[in-house]
Every structure is written in structure tokens, then in C-alpha cells.
Amino acid sequence: MEGHSVFDNYTEMDRLVLERWPEIIGLIEAHKTAQEHIEGALATAGERLIRWVREQGFEGAMSARDAEFNVWRPAWYEKRKDEAKVLLTLGGFCPIGFRKVDAKYPYLWVNTYPLDRFKVKAPDRVKFAQALRAALGDDARTWDAEDIDDAEHPLGLYLRQYDNAGRARLLLEPENLIAFGKEHLPVLFGLAEIIDSELQKLGA
């Protein structure tokens, strides 16, 4: 259209970015550096949590880039494959925008996707999920996050009391994250007996 300029497509935010360009570039660089420092802090907190979960009879590993802490019973671990058959996950404890974190809230998750590498195909993993819920009885209603998947992660719940700002506060001091883990991981530990029993029935 005559007289129309591509500059007319600028939004108010575009113009603000252009006006504050040096400051914004500085913030982008600061954001990148902060994420690297956060990863280091998560690794350190993870070491402490691993020691604690071992005292509870579990093993654990921190995935700093994913903002996830995974735990499992030693009996679920296959040394030859260097993998556990089921992972109990406390995740999403970094705010949205950290690496690939996009969960609205922190979460507790039961992940059964590793069973595929133990030759347990999707239909049998679905049956395994159904058996878990049946064994949980009325408590299964607690584990009803909208994006659970019977073949991959059949049980999940969101910790909706933590908004993005709340998650950022968890990272300000290592003690905050340690306390967060010690508060919420026992909920996952409480599923271990049922998972152990169903794994034995599965013969995996």
C-alpha cells in the first residue's frame, strides 16, 4: 500500500527495545551468566540432597540443566545399562526462562519411560500405570496432572503453591532448595513400595 512503511509494524515493545538496546543486551548477557552460576549452585545442592536421599534408602541424581532431581530405589537400577527402571522426579524448581524450563509450577512425577530400554513396550507400560493407580486406590486422584501419560509418566502432580517468583527465591540460598527437596521428596518416597511391588509382578 502506498505510503505504508515496514516501520509501521513496530509495536510499543519493539520501540522500547530499540530505545533501551544497550541495557537490554547487557541484561541478556547477565541472564546467560546467571544461568551458568545457577547450574553450579544446583549441582552443589544436588550433592547434599543425594547424601540425604541415601539415608532414606534411595539413590539420586541432579540434572541441573533440566532443573530436575531424580531418585530411585537401588533395586530398580541396572548396572549394566547404567539406568534405573523407574525415576521419581522432583522438577521445575527453577523459574520459567531458565534453560528449557517451561512448567508453570514445580512438579512431582513418576517416570516409567526408562522401562522401554528394558524391553517393556508401551502397552505393557500402560498396564503398569493402571496397576499403579489401582494399588493407590483413592490416593490416585492426587496424581492427576493434566499432562500425565500412561506409557511415559503415569503419575504427576504440580506444586501450585510456588509461582515463578517463589521458584526464584528457592535459588537465592542453597538452604532454600535443600529444604524444598526434603519437604517434597518424601511424597515420592511414599510411592516406592507400590512401584516395587508392581515391578516385581511385571518381571522387569
Average confidence score pLDDT of the chain: 93
Say what the pLDDT of residue 115 is.
95
Identity (one letter) of the amino acid at 189?
Answer: F
Q: How would residue 1 be classed by pLDDT, with cut points 50, 70 and 90?
A: very low
- What is the reported pLDDT for 131? 95
pLDDT at 8 over 90: no
What percent of the chain clears pLDDT 70, i.e. is strictly above it?
A: 96
Q: What mean pLDDT do residues 181-191 have?
A: 98
Q: What's the pLDDT at 66?
A: 93
Query: What is the model's pLDDT at position 108?
Result: 98
When pLDDT is cut at 50, 70 and 90, the band that residue 100 belongs to is confident
The pLDDT confidence band at residue 6, using thresholds 50, 70 and 90, is low
The three-state (H, E, C) secondary structure of the chain, written as one string: CCCCCHHHHCCHHHHHHHHCHHHHHHHHHHHHHHHHHHHHHHHHHHHHHHHHHHHCCCEEEEECCCCEEEEECHHHEECCCCEECCEEEEECCCCCCCCCCCCCCCEEEEECHHHHHHCCCHHHHHHHHHHHHHHHHHHHHHCCCCCCECCCECEEEECCCCCHHHHHHHCCCHHHHHHHHHHHHHHHHCCHHHHHHHHHHHCC
Tell me, what's the pLDDT at 5? 62
Interstrand relation of 155-158 and 77-78 (parallel, antiparallel or unpaired): unpaired
Residue 81 has a pLDDT of 86
pLDDT surpasses 60 at 135: yes
What's the pLDDT tens digit per position in 111-130?
999 999 999 999 999 999 99
Per-domain residue ranges of the chain: 7-202
Residue-wise pLDDT for 37-96, tens only, equals 999 999 999 999 999 999 999 999 999 999 999 999 999 999 888 999 999 999 999 999
pLDDT value of residue 202 = 84
Average pLDDT in the 143-164 region?
95
